[in-house]
Amino acid sequence: MSTPTAAAPSSPLAFHLGVAGALLPFAVFLGGVTALALRGAPDEKGFWPVLLAALIVGLLLAKDRARYAEAMLDGMSQRIVMIMLCAWLFAGVLGALLGASGFVGALAWTARALDLAGGAYVAAAFIACALVSTSTGTSFGTILVAGPLLYPAGGAAGAAPAALAGAILAGATWGDSMSPVSDTTIASSGTQGADIGGTVKARLRYAVPAGLAALLASYLLGGGGASAADSGAVAATAHVAAEVTGGPGPLVLLVIPALVIALLLAKRHLLEALLYGIAATIVIALATGLLEPSAIMRVEPGAFGATGLIIDGFSRAIGVSIFTLLLMALVGTLQATDLLERLVRAAEGRAGSARGAELWIVGTVSAAVLLTTHSVVAVLMTGPFARETGTRFGLSPYRCANLLDLTVCTWPFLLPWFLPTILAAGTTRDSAGLGMPALGPLAIGMHNTYAWALVGAVAIAVVTGFGRGNRSPR
């Protein structure tokens, strides 16, 4: 049987009811996910039926249903999607190996030894993640590496769970907004014809105050450590950690995240870094006796299946992987329409002042990222509009680039249907043994102090004109 070849579409995908028909599947998705998040959906699997219902609604409303199906496949087959799926699978294996080796418990032991408790531990987690994400330029990589390590260890430190998970996500957000090698930094500066160095330097005036406010808020929200009322619970948690580790021995595995981060700093591929991390963890854990060979993988005679840490690690990533595929299928159907182009055209010529132009830039890129759930796609779609509008009203390309970048570093790190919050929630799933609960994406996003501070920073900058005078040649 021959495989049909999809021809390039001659016209955008159309829906019955027009724009309302194109957006109705997203309304179903957002309404369902928000309802589940508010009720504390246990994991990403709870979102699968909602996405399936949204895709069916879109199929029924599409005028060309074969074309709709092709748009779904186009959305799922994007390179960034495949990178994320592989990253989650490999990170799941790495997390399972480190956890079984006692590394998380050793971190808890270290936190107690350094007397980092409550808000101090949460603030330290924010700083650590900010350094990693700024150096590597990847918020996803930071969440994948730091989340499974720092979050469980917060149990023995008496850290508030939601504040700690939010601080880890906030530190990852900082790097996405500030790193010169971040994809959003590259896309925003490129679409405005601005050099990356000057763009990042100009961004400091917005990001540094927001970062300091986030650090203080993380400290205040993080809790005061063990109090008389909860000392028994924390002592029990510490006892569990001690049983898991037997002391600081597993700290030898600190070389693993250091190796992964060093490879990322050397501009090596994220998947390459994770694979090296897995291999190094197995070698070190076996050599030091932290793991037995049978724990890594074993085949039970007559069971017709395999078990072990590698299998468990892959299984951890199934929920978020299927969620990502279904979500990107839905996004693909929207990208096949001309809705985003119409959004940008509708905004053209509407501004009557520099402040009005900036409001339109922020509003348009916000709408684009909320519709596509993809920061870079939103920047690339609205970048030409921002550049033309900025030129008309004398706005610096640095200013336009930073408005685009800072805006797309807010909503995806706050709202529960975006991949960063979903991924952060996934890193909290296996921490019950150390006294830390599994959290939903809504709870974590609402505690992302840096993303909230950025919302305020962008609003203040646009309303007051702060930073508008920074110039560079176009």
Residues 296, 97 contacting (CB under 8 angstroms): yes
Determine the Cα–Cα distance for residues 407 and 455; give it in Å rounded to an integer: 7
- Which of these, 441, 440, 383, lies nearest to 407 by C-alpha position? 383
Tokens for 290?
């932290």
Give me the pLDDT at residue 474, please. Answer: 44
Alpha carbon separation from 172 to 108, 370, 378, 400 (Å, rounded) = 21, 20, 20, 23
Neighbours of 24 (CB within 10 A): 18
pLDDT per residue as tens, the chain (474 positions): 333 444 444 688 889 988 889 889 988 987 887 777 666 555 567 778 888 999 999 999 999 999 999 999 988 887 767 876 787 788 778 877 877 787 766 766 676 677 778 888 999 889 888 887 876 667 877 887 788 878 888 887 788 999 999 999 999 999 888 887 677 887 788 888 888 788 888 999 999 999 999 999 999 998 765 443 344 444 444 444 444 434 677 778 878 877 877 776 676 777 888 889 889 989 998 888 888 888 888 777 666 677 788 888 888 778 778 877 888 888 788 878 887 677 666 766 676 788 888 998 999 899 888 877 778 778 877 887 888 888 888 889 999 999 999 999 999 999 887 878 888 888 887 766 667 888 888 889 999 999 999 999 999 999 999 888 755 444
Cα angle 202, 203, 204 (rounded to 5 degrees) comes to 90
Determine the Cα–Cα distance for residues 183 and 176; give it in Å rounded to an integer: 8
Determine the Cα–Cα distance for residues 330 and 38; give it in Å rounded to an integer: 22
Determine the Cα–Cα distance for residues 33 and 36; give it in Å rounded to an integer: 5
Amino acid, single-letter form, for residue 332: G
DSSP 25: H
Give me the pLDDT at residue 168, please. Answer: 94
Residues 177, 406 contacting (CB under 8 angstroms): yes
Question: In 114-160, which residue ranges form alpha helices assigned H by DSSP?
Answer: 119-136, 139-153
Task: Give the 3-state secondary structure of residue 299.
Answer: strand
